[in-house]
Amino acid sequence: MLELKYKYYPLMKAVGCLAGFCLFAAWVWLLINNYDHQPRFIKLFLILSHPVPFVLMTYFLFKTSYFISIFSDRSIAQLKKNKRQLELSIAENRDFVLYLRNHSLEEGAVVEAFPRGMDNSYHLHSPGISRGTGISFYSIDKNLFEEDVIRPIIDYMPVFTLHSLRDDRKSVAKRVLTKESGWFNDVKILIDKAKYIIMNFEKPTKGMVLELSYIIQSGTNDKTLLITSPKGVESLNNCGINTEKFKWVLVINKRSNSLNTERINLPVDFLQKIGIEKPDQIDH
């Protein structure tokens, strides 16, 4: 039942976005057909605000297409295969990497996936919308953070991450579906069993603080790579979590309109422990 919800959840969101598009289309049609009968101030308002419904219609159409692509990308068979591989890795004591991230901020976190411009920078505007004149919609067919961080690792060691119904990003890491009611017990087991841990942290949430606190409590901070931003470091200190306790810490400087003009380069000694002997030859 959970797998079916996982499969069809983005389709339900696509239907909702399509309904929003149809609603605005009907509104525009009614306004056009009744324009001559409107009072003068209403006509003036419609003239000044006429781009708004068209922008919203384009946005809803884009989101409909995006969620349909997510729906087509989700595979119950692949999800079950990932789960079996993870269970086998634990049972046979095989090495794997655990990737932890903020689910509730997956679409908006600073170190998550954003459309990358021609200058190779991460754009932090509203999802799919660029600043300047006009509206540009991007096809989000890659998770750029995972492309930079996870992609170089998966050929040397499998990378698993827990997945929820509401996660909308396509994934490079092998995602394993978990129930929201029992996610923390699953996380604790994986933290203990993983060879290495990659934590993608931007803002403090109850779940992330619990995970980080358990990592320190269980002594697994010596196998953890923490990737965050200066604001993330500040928020961790406010929560009583000292970033210096982690084996590796990568702080990505955030600017007003871009996260970093260069790709995210992982610590060399971390990559060497994964088994990558020449990290400088990694092809992103």
Give the pLDDT confidence of 197-233 residue by residue, as tens digits: 999 887 778 888 899 999 999 999 999 999 888 888 8
Question: What secondary structure letter does DSSP report for 118?
Answer: T
Label residue 103 by pLDDT band (50, 70, 90): low
Whether the per-residue pLDDT at 55 is higher than 70: the answer is yes
Assigned architecture for domain 76-281:
3-Layer(aba) Sandwich (3.40)
Provide the token pair at 278. 């020449």
pLDDT at residue 166, as a whole number: 67
